[in-house]
Amino acid sequence: MPEFENLRSIRSFVRRNGRITPAQQRALDTLWARYVVEPHENLDLNQLFGRTATKHLEIGFGKGEALLAMALAHPENDYLGIEVHLSGVGHLLNEAAKLGLNNVHVICIDAVEVLEKYFSDNSLDCVYIFFPDPWHKARHHKRRLIQENFLALLARRVKIHGYVRLATDWEDYAQQMLQLFENTDKFQNCVSPNSFAPRCEERPLTKFERRGQRLGHGVWDLCYQRVIG
């Protein structure tokens, strides 16, 4: 698919695993097989989770606070998380096991590649992208995950009537996301055209966001529904 060539060569992350704590390393060693998926083409998500249930995907889950909270609150749904940094993955594995979650799986590969190569069309009910790296310098904007081509890819993988929910604390990225979603006929704003959404209830208030609120920083949420376009 040549249209995504450009996205693949310019990645939205820098490979660094950060400091992995002994507890995270233990989790990576002992829980990898239970939770981590090595994807293959036309990955069958119902088969992976062993049941038919709505499929939710979080891209770039960081330490996994949102993914864990959502999976715990909604045992009736299945949650797949994609994250490339192993320290965050280790943290999530540890917590998922402590909570005894069976409705979570993780993929540790570039989300663009995963969506492009391994998922089938119309396979996702909801995609969450919370606080994607803002790449705030203008010369780095090309690294931002939310780009026109990426939206086209998302539109194919998300079911008709499915949702994409995003949040960012970076105003110009929020505006860029809004423009991109408004400019495609594949998604419809769940609030009203050109509007940001109320804070996503599924998103737990993290330490990072609480600190931002105290300092008076804004957070912009977006919610779009896949429509026939």
User: Which residues contact ligand SAM by CB under 6 A?
Assistant: 12-13, 59-62, 82-85, 88, 110-112, 130-133, 145, 206
Q: Kindly tell me which of 111 and 153 has the beta carbon lying closer to ligand SAM.
A: 111
Catalytic residue among 44, 125, 133, 172: 133
Instruction: Considering the complex, state which of residue 99 and residue 208 has its C-beta at the smaller distance from ligand SAM.
Output: 208
Q: How many CB atoms lie within 10 A of CB 94?
A: 19
Residue with Cβ nearer ligand SAM (16 or 139) = 16
CB of 24 to ligand SAM, least distance (A): 14
**Least distance to ligand SAM from the beta carbon of 131, Å?**
4
Return the exposure string of 162-201: e unless at least 16 CB atoms fall within 10 Å of the residue's CB, then b: bbbbbbbbbeebbebbbebbeebebbbbeeeeeebbeebe
Contact indicator for 27, 93 with CB cutoff of 8 Å: yes
Tell me the backbone φ, ψ of residue 143, rounded to 5 degrees.
Answer: -85, -10
Q: How far is the CB of 212 from ligand SAM (least distance, A)?
A: 11
φ, ψ of residue 159 to 5 degrees: the values are -65, 155
Please report, for residues 37, 55, 160, 188, the alpha-carbon distance to residue 163 in angstroms, rounded to integers and kept in the order given.
23, 11, 9, 9
What SS3 state is found at 217? coil
Token duo for residue 224:
């779009």
Contact 220, 168 (CB under 8 A): yes
The nearest distance, CB 17 to ligand SAM, in angstroms, is: 10
- Closer to ligand SAM by Cβ: residue 35 or 130: 130
At residue 8, the 3 state secondary structure works out as helix
What is the nearest approach in angstroms of ligand SAM to the Cβ of residue 213? 14
Determine which helix (DSSP H) or strand (DSSP E) holds 33, and give its type and residue range. helix 22-35
Is 121 one of the catalytic residues? no
Q: Catalytic residue positions?
A: 133
